[in-house]
């Protein structure tokens, strides 16, 4: 590949994309993958064949695998802590085997941003933020001490302490370079992140996407990530947003459009004259929602708006010059006159967008705000609640009815929207206008404001809008994901009791990207995504059982009705505040100290050491058990015999169902484990915060309170122990099967494993003894994670399913063809034996999609593959 590289005038090396004959017809995202292959060519893991697949992508599409070696890795703490535990465990295993533990070290830069641990325990006052921060450190001191140890022990590893912002917003506003300079090479900034919303950075022209922690660990340790050469769908935007709509309405519309079209596992690249009317924050809002469409990336090429944004957010002039010069010279600059060949195209007129929310359980289920009231009975029925439930509550001299559709949580949260000044300023102005009309939020609504960056607070304070938001009870509760990740905190006791006692179908309205079942709060069945402006509007009405286009939000002091249109700010008002209140210096001052942390972080103590000192009594951090007794050499693969079904599941099972975040009860398996280890309920924290402890996480696997296992008689983490017919918890059944050396499988429908890139969804599956999963289709990240943990993903043949084959999940399964010559997408034979002595034989296709995935599977997973390689060096 040397003939495609050149030296710049200042002596740097770079790939010359203009020397490739086909480059003009390639999507920008494919051009970046091609550059990556050329620069990392070694003739072994990256070959001439890989170059040809990408160079000829436009004329000879292929789904063969290509390698990708990202320039860096981005982590948040929920997925980052277990990744650090795994790498520390690899070091410990190396040391036990007489090797140098320091050989296990990240080979590329890694940034871990602590943003997922703050919970909304306190709200509605000035003291909410400091109290929540204090509680965060109280709960997570041990985890944070380990991160400080890792920052000291590992090369190429930095930690952004708690309270600095949400990882994707920090990445967009500061970490992303556009074009990197490292080891004398100039190259496009690329990354993978251990959070599915990593594609948010696509909005600034950086190619990156979410992977499971397992894949990220492989990238950190120098392994290429292999994936099928993607189809690229061109999304053509025309026109501009109408007055009265927001970027959030736009992205919820695009989510619905692309999910219906079908972009799972594909790249989306945006083009068209409508792009000229979108700011970088608008673009980032769209890109952030890529996993909600199901695509890998939603890429926006570098153009003049990119440079303007990078300048505005405080990037140095030298970086701006580098990005513009490189992109213009090397075929990565958007002019709007490109003649690119996409796999297919789909169009959207931005002028057709209307005010929208989405829910109640999936981001793609768009509902215009004039339709939610008439649809509410159907939505309540969908989540298992009748439309007649209500409860009378009294607080002092005030009383009110709480009924179905009541808004229990109103949260301005998530980097999806808090990174976008237009909707944040818009929310502040709407709050000001509502305040001037004498409106306020209802007393049963738990309100919160969780910006993704301290810059947001700077401009809200400078404009005075912070006071207006606080007047409506939207006080800052923290700088993190909060309600978006399930850290909504407890509801007021009287609200909680009323919901439980009356089976109320209450709602959450939040400016988030996810609303899967039981994600936001286990008691809240209706969860709607909306713009920050609409979050405030629904907090004022106190119910989603309203048509905001026709009905008033409330009345002014004179008793006159006040409608949403009466308080909706104009685009001119919003832009005026933005131009007057947001300063370049805000970004510079916030990010100059981003790695310093506040006093609580600085005061954390740890013991510097090459090998982490594991504490056997810890209930937060435990050495990973994956390498116990691992032979140095790979053994012979074996067929699966007489396996039982642990769960039989339907369509759209998410990683939230498999590996839930958020709170858990004393009655759960994880709760019982912690109580047995002396942990009181008030110190349980959340599943996410305990991801460094496999004992908690394996007990939490498949324990979501809304999961529907067809082998169980009730919702939640239950199943049938088939030999006796007994109903028990999934964990208990798995341990009983383990005691009899019975292998397990999971049966599922379409889109298995959609949602967040949770590595514990695969790790927990593995630790429960599941050897294989058989589904109708998979979302990309979870399938890869299963392979990474040595669990075999299998797929029904087209047109077949558990239902069509007459499988009820009580059968025993024998799977043959594994022990013989194994290769990608091999067909296997399965015999399912019924209790009456009859059987059914059918074939499935393995979803090991590349030779390297076959090697990972043979080794028992990516980390086992890596460890064996290190032991042989």
- 814 pLDDT band, cuts 50/70/90, is very high
**Residue 23: inside a domain:** yes
Given a cut of 80, whether residue 150 has pLDDT beyond it is yes
Of 110-119, 681-690, 726-735, 842-851, the poorest mean pLDDT is in 681-690
Domain termination residue (choose one: 301, 329, 352) = 352
Give the 3-state secondary structure percentages of the chain, helix then strand then coil, rounded to 5: 40, 20, 45
Q: Same domain, yes or no, for 370 and 348?
A: no
**Residue 704: inside a domain:** no
Average pLDDT over residues 766-772: 97
Average pLDDT over residues 151-159: 94
pLDDT at 757: 67
Q: How many CA atoms lie within 13 A of 271 on its CB side?
A: 21
Tell the burial category of 388 from Cβ atoms under 10 Å away from its Cβ (0-12, 13-18, 19+): exposed
Q: Same domain, yes or no, for 412 and 556?
A: yes
Of 153-162, 228-237, 382-391, 424-433, the poorest mean pLDDT is in 382-391
Q: Given strand 13-15, what is the order of strands in its sheet?
A: 5-7, 13-15, 185-188, 179-182
869 vs 342, more confident: 342
Number of domains in the chain: 4
pLDDT in tens, 783-809: 988 999 999 999 999 999 999 999 999
**DSSP label of 861:** S
CATH code of 365's domain: 3.30.499.10
pLDDT at 483: 87
pLDDT in tens, 273-294: 999 999 999 999 999 999 999 8
Given a cut of 70, whether residue 370 has pLDDT beyond it is yes
Q: Same domain, yes or no, for 379 and 316?
A: no
Query: CA-to-CA distance for 828 and 811, rounded, in angstroms?
Result: 18
Q: Which two tokens stand for residue 765?
A: 């599956």
pLDDT in tens, 53-90: 999 999 999 988 899 999 999 999 888 888 999 999 99
Q: Same domain, yes or no, for 47 and 137?
A: no
Q: Same domain, yes or no, for 15 and 97?
A: no
CB 587 within 8 A of CB 314: yes
CATH code of 811's domain: 3.20.19.10
**Residue 478: inside a domain:** yes
**Residue 544: inside a domain:** yes
pLDDT at 13: 95
Given a cut of 90, whether residue 389 has pLDDT beyond it is no
Q: Which of 537, 604, 544, 594 is nearest to 568 (CA)?
A: 537
- 1 pLDDT band, cuts 50/70/90, is low
Q: Same domain, yes or no, for 208 and 88?
A: yes
pLDDT at 227: 85
Percent of the chain at pLDDT exceeding 70: 99
pLDDT at 79: 84
Q: Same domain, yes or no, for 45 and 137?
A: no
**Residue 251: inside a domain:** yes
Given a cut of 80, whether residue 120 has pLDDT beyond it is yes
pTM, two decimals, is 0.87
Given a cut of 90, whether residue 551 has pLDDT beyond it is yes
Would the CA dihedral through 756, 760, 762, 765 be positive or negative? negative
Identify the domain containing residue 740 by its residue range.
640-657+727-872
Neighbour tally for 18: CB within 10 Å:
13
Given a cut of 90, whether residue 18 has pLDDT beyond it is yes
pLDDT at 183: 94
Tell the burial category of 572 from Cβ atoms under 10 Å away from its Cβ (0-12, 13-18, 19+): exposed
- 265 pLDDT band, cuts 50/70/90, is confident
Three-state secondary structure call for residue 300: coil
Q: Same domain, yes or no, for 344 and 368?
A: no
Average of per-residue pLDDT values in the chain: 94
Q: Same domain, yes or no, for 347 and 362?
A: no
pLDDT at 2: 60
Given a cut of 70, whether residue 854 has pLDDT beyond it is yes
Q: What secondary structure does DSSP assign to 787-847, as a single string? A: HHTT-EEEEEPTT--TTTTT--S-SEEEEESSSS---TT-EEEEEEE-TTS-EEEEEEEE-
**Residue 630: inside a domain:** no
Domain termination residue (choose one: 556, 576, 592) = 592
Q: Same domain, yes or no, for 370 and 392?
A: yes
Say if residue 265 is preceded by a cis peptide, omega within 30 of 0. Answer: no
pLDDT at 390: 84
Tell the burial category of 466 from Cβ atoms under 10 Å away from its Cβ (0-12, 13-18, 19+): buried
Average pLDDT over residues 174-184: 96
Q: Same domain, yes or no, for 348 and 362?
A: no
**Residue 430: inside a domain:** yes
pLDDT in tens, 290-335: 999 989 999 999 999 999 999 999 999 999 999 999 999 999 999 9
pLDDT in tens, 582-616: 999 999 999 999 999 889 999 999 989 999 999 99
**Residue 691: inside a domain:** no
Q: Same domain, yes or no, for 154 and 115?
A: yes
């Amino acid at each position: 590949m040397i003939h495609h590289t050149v030296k710049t005038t200042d002596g740097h090396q770079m790939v010359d994309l203009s020397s490739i004959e086909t480059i003009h017809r390639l999507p920008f995202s494919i051009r970046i993958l091609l550059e990556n292959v050329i620069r990392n060519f070694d003739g072994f893991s990256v070959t001439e064949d890989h170059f040809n697949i990408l160079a000829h992508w436009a004329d000879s599409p292929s789904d063969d695998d290509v390698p990708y070696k990202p320039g860096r890795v981005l982590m948040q703490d929920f997925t980052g802590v277990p990744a650090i535990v795994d790498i520390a465990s690899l070091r410990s295993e190396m040391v036990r085997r007489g090797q140098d533990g320091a050989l296990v070290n990240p080979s590329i830069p890694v940034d871990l941003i602590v943003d997922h641990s703050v919970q909304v325990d306190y709200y509605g006052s000035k003291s909410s933020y400091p109290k929540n921060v204090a509680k965060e450190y109280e709960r997570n001191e041990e985890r944070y001490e380990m991160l400080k140890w890792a920052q000291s022990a590992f090369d190429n590893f930095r930690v952004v302490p708690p309270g600095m912002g949400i990882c994707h917003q920090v990445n967009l506003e500061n970490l992303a370079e556009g074009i990197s300079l490292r080891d004398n090479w100039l190259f496009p900034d690329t990354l993978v992140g251990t959070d599915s919303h990593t594609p948010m950075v696509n909005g600034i022209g950086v190619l990156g996407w979410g992977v499971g922690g397992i894949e990220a660990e492989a990238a950190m340790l120098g392994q290429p990530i292999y994936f099928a050469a993607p189809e690229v769908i061109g999304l053509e935007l025309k026109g501009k947003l109408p007055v009265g709509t927001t970027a959030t309405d736009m992205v919820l519309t695009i989510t619905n459009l692309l999910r219906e079209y079908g972009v799972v596992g594909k790249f989306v690249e945006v083009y068209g004259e409508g792009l000229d009317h979108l700011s970088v924050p608008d673009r980032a809002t769209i890109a952030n929602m890529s996993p909600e469409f199901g695509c890998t990336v939603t890429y926006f090429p570098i153009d003049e708006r990119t440079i303007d944004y990078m300048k505005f957010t405080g990037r140095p002039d030298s970086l701006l010059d580098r990005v513009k010069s490189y992109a213009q010279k090397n075929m990565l600059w958007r002019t709007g006159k490109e003649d690119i060949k996409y796999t297919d195209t789909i169009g959207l007129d931005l002028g057709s967008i209307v005010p929208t929310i989405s829910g109640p359980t999936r981001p793609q289920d768009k509902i215009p705000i004039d339709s939610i009231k008439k649809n509410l009975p159907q939505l309540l029925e969908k989540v298992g609640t009748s439309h007649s439930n209500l409860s009378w509550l009294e607080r002092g001299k005030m009383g009110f009815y709480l009924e179905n559709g009541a808004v229990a949580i109103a949260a301005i949260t998530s980097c999806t929207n808090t990174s976008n000044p237009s909707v944040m300023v818009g929310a502040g102005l709407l709050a000001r206008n509502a305040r001037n009309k004498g409106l306020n939020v209802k007393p049963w609504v738990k309100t919160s404001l969780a910006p993704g960056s301290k810059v947001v607070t700077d401009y809200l304070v400078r404009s005075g809008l912070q006071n207006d938001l606080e007047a409506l009870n939207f006080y800052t509760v923290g700088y993190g994901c909060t309600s978006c990740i399930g850290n909504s905190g407890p509801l007021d006791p009287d609200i909680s009791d009323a919901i439980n006692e009356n089976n109320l179908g209450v709602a959450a309205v939040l400016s988030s990207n996810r609303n899967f079942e039981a994600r936001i709060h286990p008691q809240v069945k209706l969860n709607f995504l909306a713009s920050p402006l609409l979050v405030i509007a629904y907090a004022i009405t106190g119910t989603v059982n309203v048509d905001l286009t026709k009905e008033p939000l409330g009345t002014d002091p004179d008793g006159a009705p006040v409608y949403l249109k009466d308080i909706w700010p104009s685009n001119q008002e919003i832009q005026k505040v933005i131009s007057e209140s947001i300063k370049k210096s805000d970004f510079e001052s916030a990010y100059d100290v981003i790695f310093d942390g506040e006093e609580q972080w600085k005061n954390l103590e740890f013991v510097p050491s090459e090998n982490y000192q594991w504490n056997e009594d810890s209930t937060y951090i435990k050495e990973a058990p994956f390498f116990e007794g691992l032979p140095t050499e790979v053994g012979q693969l074996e067929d699966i015999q007489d396996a039982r079904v642990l769960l039989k599941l339907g369509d759209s099972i998410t990683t939230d169902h498999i590996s839930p975040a958020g709170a858990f009860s004393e009655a759960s398996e994880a709760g019982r484990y912690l109580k047995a280890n002396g942990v009181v309920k008030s110190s349980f924290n959340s599943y996410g915060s305990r991801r460094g402890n496999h004992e908690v996480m394996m007990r939490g696997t498949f324990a979501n309170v809304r999961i529907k296992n067809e082998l169980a008689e009730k919702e939640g983490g239950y199943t049938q122990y088939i030999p006796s017919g007994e109903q028990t918890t999934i964990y208990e059944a798995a341990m009983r099967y383990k005691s009899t050396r019975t292998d397990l499988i999971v049966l599922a429908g379409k889109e298995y494993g959609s949602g967040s890139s949770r590595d514990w969804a695969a790790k927990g599956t593995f630790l429960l003894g599941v050897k294989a999963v058989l589904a109708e289709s998979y979302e990309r990240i979870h399938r890869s994670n299963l392979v990474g943990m040595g669990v075999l993903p299998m797929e029904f043949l087209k047109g077949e399913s558990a239902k069509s084959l007459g499988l009820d999940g009580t059968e025993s399964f024998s799977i043959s063809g594994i022990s013989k010559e194994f290769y990608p997408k091999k067909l296997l034979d399965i015999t399912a034996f019924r209790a009456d002595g009859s059987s059914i034989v059918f074939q499935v296709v393995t979803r090991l999609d590349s030779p390297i995935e076959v090697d990972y599977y043979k080794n028992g997973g990516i980390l086992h593959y890596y460890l064996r390689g290190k032991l042989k060096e």
